[in-house]
Amino acid sequence: MEPVFKYIDDNADRFIKRLGTAVAIPSVSASVKLRPEVRRMVEWTKAEMDKLNIQTELLELGDQVLPSSGVLKLPPVIFGQLGNDPKKKTLLAYGHVDVQPANKSDGWDTDPFLLTEIDGKLYGRGTSDDKGPVLGWLNAIEAYQNQKIDLPLNLKFVFEAMEESDSDGLANLLMSKKDSFLKDIDFICISDNNWLSKNRPCLTYGLRGVCHFFVEVECSSKDLHSGVFGGSVHEAMSDLIFLMNSLVDVKGRILIPGIYDSVEPITSEEDSLYKDIDFDLEDLRKDIGCEKLLHSSKVELLQHNWRHPCLSLHGIEGAFSEPGAKTVIPRKVTGKFSIRIVPNQDPDEVQRLTKSYLENCHKTRGSPNKLRVTTSGSPAWISDYKHENYTAAKKACKKVYGVEPDMTREGGSVPVVFYMEKATSTNVLLLPMGACDDDPHSQNEKLDISKFIDGTKLFAAYINELGKLGK
């Protein structure tokens, strides 16, 4: 591996420059206006893959129906393949090239779409999530090819551009390819998360699922003046606040009856995995900038973040939120919240319990206002961390970083993991590149240069370790 590692080190500046080119394309999938830029990002990525002789194909996903009833063309997905040797095993790598919205006015210290290096850190939207990791795979392949070292695996790639918008259309595409492109996959690797700490790498074997809820309350056919109609009507906002305040207590416990019934108890083997994880509660508290965390011990907090469900309130649509006063009674408001669910919890059952609870709360309150609850959901995921896929990744981490990786689960959700596993019946590994302080969905998203370069080496070493397993 030394020639490959040396090539990666020698070309670090060029790899960083290429990441800058990718960051400069504002591929915000949630923006209708920027959808052409999303497609441009896909086409640019395909061109970079073509330079490495990866056989690529753009697969169209069709149209997206917008809430306004408009129709927008979805960006295509890149399917790529390098090698087709029946004597070698096949690795499928997934990543995405779309990003979260970002504006300088949001509180960024730098232009979010201009890669900026400060003290060994690369600031820019998409550096960590997920353009840096996507390019890490291409950098690793380039290093093998330049050093004329035969890749010990067949490689396949699925790079999409709607991950930040619920991977719209991807699940159906993957299922349609399960007997062709996705057939005979031996391992799957997804690099779309982060280390738990700043100093020790990790392998992630579990994710929570998520159920989204939209609670709509309507009190009138038009907005009303509070001076004229205040005290005369049952206000929609009052009903909604009551309902939202009935969901979770001050300690974070969900108040919906039956919601915890299907949560699996923690086994002694699982409990032991948490004890040696590199994680500091005080560092987390300072990074967040809060006064106090919900839990006082490392193990307790991690378990509540990874393997217990939680409920979070996100916002209210239809309410006045701009500076200043506006004495209006909104005719209709929609509260938004989500429940992160864990393995063994069924999304449909969680949605049913929650909807029934909200309807009962509204009935008990006695308001005549119209209530409408709509939902969507995706399941949780857990993998076999004793699989040879994980064993190979552990060896690669030891090779690059000199330490054993932490074995972690995550509180977030990556729906594509579930669909990949379902379409292939193959072990899935999450192999992150960036650290816990990269702030991938926040202001000042960054990726340390050391993490970018060492992460590229990690992918190269992982390929090498998988290749040793033979067919």
From 142, 163, 186, 239, the catalytic residue? 163
The C-alpha atoms of residue 57 and residue 97 are separated, in whole angstroms, by: 16
Distances (CA, A) of 313 to 236, 240, 379: 17, 12, 19
Q: Please name every residue paired with 336 in a beta bridge, in sequence order, or none if there are none.
A: 214, 315
With tokens 């809430």, the residue in question is 67
Structure tokens at 405: 């990786």
Greatest Cα pair distance, the chain, in angstroms, is 80
Distances (CA, A) of 257 to 275, 347, 375: 31, 15, 18
The letter for the amino acid at 124 is G
Contacts of residue 167, defined as CB under 8 A and 6 or more positions apart, other chains included, come to 160, 415, 416, 419
Cβ atoms of 397 and 458 closer than 8 Å:
yes
Count CB neighbours of 362 within 10 A.
21
Cβ atoms of 344 and 264 closer than 8 Å:
yes
The C-alpha atoms of residue 49 and residue 56 are separated, in whole angstroms, by: 7
Contacts of residue 105, defined as CB under 8 A and 6 or more positions apart, other chains included, come to none
Instruction: State the first-to-last Cα distance of the chain, in angstroms, to the nearest integer.
Output: 21
Cβ atoms of 153 and 389 closer than 8 Å:
no
Sign of CA dihedral 438, 165, 100, 38: positive
Distances (CA, A) of 162 to 123, 127, 296, 314, 396: 22, 17, 37, 21, 30
Q: Please say if 163 is a catalytic residue.
A: yes
The C-alpha atoms of residue 339 and residue 259 are separated, in whole angstroms, by: 10
The C-alpha atoms of residue 335 and residue 353 are separated, in whole angstroms, by: 17
Q: Please say if 404 is a catalytic residue.
A: no
The C-alpha atoms of residue 439 and residue 467 are separated, in whole angstroms, by: 33
Pairing outcome for strands 406-410 and 187-190? unpaired
Cis peptide before 50 (omega within 30 of 0): no
Structure tokens at 70: 């408009």
Contacts of residue 315, defined as CB under 8 A and 6 or more positions apart, other chains included, come to 335, 336
The C-alpha atoms of residue 244 and residue 213 are separated, in whole angstroms, by: 11
E strand or H helix at 377: strand 370-378
- Active site residue ranges: 98, 163
